[in-house]
Amino acid sequence: MITLLKKEINTFLSSLIGYIAICVFLLVTGLFAWVFPFDSNILDMGYANLDTLFSIAPWVFMFLIPAITMRSFAEEKKTGTIEFLQTKPLSDLEIILAKYFAGFVLVIFSLLPTLVYYYSVYQLGFPAGNVDSGSVWGSYIGLLFLAGGFVSIGIFASAITDNQIVSFILAVFLCWFLHTGFEYISALALFGKVDSMIISLGINDHYISMSRGVLDTRDLTYFLSLIALFILFTKVKLASRKW
């Protein structure tokens, strides 16, 4: 599994996909956070925080992570190498986890440079260091869990088709629906007291909760369950090829 994981990471980093994903993420978040003259501009906001980064990042990941994961299984199936891969002394779960962690590692690579944003805000505070570090680190952790959920969704979308474009579109839709869709359903006010429970089914509700700097076991359980569920779906899909 470790060998396959290294191979997947090397494949990402030896092609333009990985670098483009990282550069696009940093470019978009950097422009909105520091350049564009919107209310979200950190320099114009008057407060030493990184709320802009953590509010924009999920939407950027919603497109970038499917772009990263769309080739995971779709390309293997299209080229026929999935059968060869399954002849290796690896279980389906090990293959899935190797591809999952490879995508997740790439997400971590894209987030590491944003620590410069934190250092800048830390120094710009008055006095220096006047920043809610607990909230910042909670948001980083929440963003990692959110990205982990998106990666699992992207891997699943790639496993059910041999077309990378179809995989990308399906993953974007699933990520959007699980992130925001339940809020739109709740806004219809059709379910009365159940509406608040419907909101809690969405990723955004738990991400916002973690962004407050408090790691609630309910939020951790939600994200871990979401990741496990889509990994299970992917395993079932791969196993169906043997039926």
pTM of the predicted structure, to 2 decimals: 0.89
Range(s) of the domain holding residue 160:
2-242
The predicted pLDDT at position 50 comes to: 78
At residue 120, φ and ψ (nearest 5 deg) are -65, -45
Which amino acid, 59?
Answer: W
The predicted pLDDT at position 9 comes to: 76
**229 band by pLDDT with thresholds 50, 70 and 90:** very high
The two structure tokens encoding residue 1: 């599994």
The predicted pLDDT at position 78 comes to: 76
Q: What is the number of domains present in the chain?
A: 1
Q: Work out the burial of residue 197: count CB atoms within 10 Å of its CB; fewer than 13 is exposed, 13-18 middle, 19 or more buried.
A: exposed
Q: What is the pLDDT of residues 28-74, one digit of tens each?
A: 888 887 777 766 666 666 666 777 888 889 999 999 999 888 888 88
At residue 66, φ and ψ (nearest 5 deg) are -60, -35
